[in-house]
Amino acid sequence: MRAKASDRGPGAYPAVRDAVVWPSRAVVLLLTLAFAAGLRVPGWIQYLPFAASLVFFGLPHGAVDHLVPSRLAGRDADGRSVLAVVLLYLVLSGLCLALWFTAPITAFVLFVGVTVFHWGAGDLHALLFFGPDGLSGMGRASRALLLVLRGGLPMLVPLLFFPDAYRGVATAAAGLFGADATALPAVFSAGFRLAVGGALAVVAFLFLLRAAGDLAGGGRTLLPVALETSLLFAFFAAVPPVLAVGLYFTLWHAPRHVARLVLLDPAGADHLRTGRPGRALARFARDAAPLTALALALLAGLYLAVPRASEAPGSLLAVYLVLVSALTLPHASLVTYMDGRQGVWERGLSSPGDRSGP
């Protein structure tokens, strides 16, 4: 059964587009043009988006997961639903951290795979509910292809254009636990990267072919999606990967998910509908603050627990990515549950202006 949302009118959707979607597109476009024109920035600046994500959208965007099941059901949070989410996190995060300590290379590969799925699913939801009209006619195959394509952009395009930087992040993360990422030399070879690029191109072609057949208007309906996807490809091809992925996480993926969560909160949705996004964000920040603080404490504990952490920026980022990977696995599982309840895979959603739910 599809969940009913707390959005009481169509005004919330234009508010999300104005406050979240268009600003992130503008940032991505400007930075793509700047770096394509030759902009270079010091290495330490490239870490700033990840540092900001500790308290600005990134880490907090999953910090209200304990409220999601009850809000999807249209009721106040209860101990049973909160306990279920807590157990989900304890089990999956614990298993993920155990994998990092015992098989860090495998843990890194799993992290990349889960992130492709999760970020692709986030963009799929955002395009269906906050994007252009007319995409509701896409079938499940088209949506699955779009998920793979959009999730692959931030995780795979940097591998194509910045293999040394990608290797550096993998080496730093695995090195925390005494492993050597050079155990995966084929992943960074020209042949493998060519295969990855070819696979992405095939997925893009199949998506356009399949979705054009699904949708009335075909190519015209898909044009905004194609343009946005092309913009993201250019962004990850031009901007250094630590900076690009950090910005995408903090200013693209996380705010879209925060908007989705705000629409589950009746008061937050009303604030959006009546043109008060600041109040909606303040309510979210209040709800997210306790578990964001807990996540920061866990990060400090993880820094002390991993065998070879240091104060170097690359090492600090690696510790943060290990924590994020442990939190992403249960978070992605819960978001998949949200997708099912909210009809992300159902054909025939109404247009943004008429939708009754997020």
Instruction: Determine whether the annotation assigns residue 257 to a binding site.
Output: yes
H-helix segments, 19-78 = 22-36, 43-46, 48-52, 68-72
Give the single-character DSSP code of 21.
I
How far is CA 177 from its chain centroid?
26
**Tokens 């807590």, residue located:** 86
Distance CA 276, CA 42 (A): 37
**Tokens 């590969």, residue located:** 109
CA angle 273–276–280, rounded 5-degree value: 90
**Tokens 């969940």, residue located:** 3
- Region of 78 please: left (phi>0), alpha (psi -120 to 50) or beta: beta
Instruction: Determine whether the annotation assigns residue 125 to a binding site.
Output: no
* φ, ψ (nearest 5 deg) of residue 310: -135, 180
How far is CA 233 from its chain centroid?
15
Instruction: Determine whether the annotation assigns residue 66 to a binding site.
Output: no
| Beta carbons of 32 and 239 less than 8 angstroms apart | yes
As annotated, the binding site includes 61, 118, 253, 257
Q: Annotated binding residues for Fe cation, as ranges?
A: 61, 118, 253, 257
